Amino acid sequence: MVEPGSTFVVMGLLNTDSIAYAAGKMVEEMGGKVIYTVQSERMKRIFFDRSPDLTDEEKAAMDIRYCDVTVESEVRELFENTGPINGVLHSIGFANPKTCLGEQMYTDAVEDIKQAFHISCASLATVSHFALERMEKGGSIVTLSFESQVAFPYYNWMGVNKAALEALVRALAREYGREHVRVNAISAGPLATKAAKSIPHFAHLAKTWRQMSPLPWDVVNDKQEVANAVVFMLGKYSKKITGQTIYVDGGANHVGGVLLRTEKPFKSMPARKKKLAQERLERMRALQKSHQQ
């Protein structure tokens, strides 16, 4: 959990559905200060226009700055003006869905592949480099990944970038450890955000999660669980964790394939728990009976 009075730069705000927004709110709830970033001035206007759920006071209270992570001077300028910080959330990704996410990996749109890599992976190194100067007493850098050890349909070049991002996290953790700066990734399951909606057949991915995840996975509400994990990784209770990819995905990546009908999470816990307890009791009684005979 983050300490009251600590300051974090939370990058990747698009609307109130963004993972960055959920994580920033958690930091604020714990008494931390948040400097949000959007990609451009236009994006700030879009954020305000598309957030009717926020009051004018809430909007005015947010410290929102601009930073296109592919423009080094903007990243430098951002961190020149933050003052001392305790950490950064890099919650940024983009791949042109028309060329980089589709039925086949092959595309001749090499510039799109480069752009996706620059935004979704390499930018973490740029951000970390300039943020380091501001973390005089050490700190924590967290990025967002998606299961990259196996291939999912249509996720194509984004999957490649997430694998590269996790490798970059390990390399940065190695480099920055001596300055007491930790670098980690959180691998989240599918969540309904603007970035996710641009993935063709996102609904299929969400359905796959329901079939694989031993814990129930909700593409809307579990954003909060991901935000909780982000706050844990930013704060002092994760001080010996670095270079890692922490899975906050309901366990989907650690089980082999689709769950059996009998393994699926209960829809209603108390009723099903009672039934399960009853079944266990009956099995025990049957066992005892067979021993007595």
Ligand X SMILES: NC(=O)c1ccc[n+]([C@@H]2O[C@H](COP(=O)([O-])OP(=O)(O)OC[C@H]3O[C@@H](n4cnc5c(N)ncnc54)[C@H](O)[C@@H]3O)[C@@H](O)[C@H]2O)c1
Q: Which is nearer to ligand X, 168 or 188 (CB)?
A: 188
* Interacting positions 39-78 with ligand X (CB under 6 A): 39, 43, 68-70
Applying CB under 6 A, the span of 90-98, 124-132, 171-179, 252-260 interacting with ligand X comes to: 90-98
Q: CB of residue 43 vs ligand X: minimum separation in angstroms? A: 6
Q: Should residue 196 be labelled a site residue for ligand X when binding is judged by CB under 6 A?
A: yes
Applying CB under 6 A, the span of 1-9, 10-18, 50-58, 124-132 interacting with ligand X comes to: 10-18
Q: Which two tokens stand for residue 271?
A: 């009723």
Q: Should residue 195 be labelled a site residue for ligand X when binding is judged by CB under 6 A?
A: yes
Q: Which is nearer to ligand X, 138 or 152 (CB)?
A: 152
Q: CB of residue 164 vs ligand X: minimum separation in angstroms? A: 12
Answer for which of 8, 9, 12, 252 binds ligand X (CB under 6 A) is: 12
**Footprint on this chain of ligand X (rule: CB under 6 A):** 12-14, 18-20, 39, 43, 68-70, 91-94, 119, 144-146, 188, 190-191, 193-196
